[in-house]
Amino acid sequence: MKFFGSKFKCEKCNSKFSKYEELINHARHDHHHTIVKCSECGKEFIHEADRLHHARKEHEEKMEKRIHKSEHKHENKTPSPQDEIDKHTRNFSDNF
């Protein structure tokens, strides 16, 4: 059977689906594949890499609001030059 507009393909049996949710259900029921869920919104994925990509893309705003506990230790005094370097280093390393 040929599906028009099929854009999701099963890696194990090459079945094609028009919706990602159909591929998820197929993988879960036909191949007993473990499905990973986004802890933020509950969306399901076949691969952990897909879930991570989704979380970075869709929930980035929440990640940007994340505050490192160590950034609050000098709230009542002027930050030292080393504090500024540490802050930029943490921000730079979070982008990888």
Q: Which region holds residue 5: left if phi is over 0, alpha if psi is between -120 and 50, else beta? A: left
Say if CB 44 and CB 35 are below 8 A apart. yes
Q: How far apart are CA 81 and CA 84, in angstroms?
A: 5
Domains and CATH numbers, the chain: 8-56 (3.30.160)
> What pTM does this model have?
0.51
Q: How far apart are CA 87 and CA 64, in angstroms?
A: 14
Q: What percentage of residues in the chain have a pLDDT greater than 70?
A: 71
Per-residue pLDDT tens over the stretch 58-89? 887 666 666 555 555 545 567 778 877 777 77
| pLDDT of 4 higher than 70 | no
What pLDDT band is residue 94 in, cutting at 50, 70 and 90? Answer: low
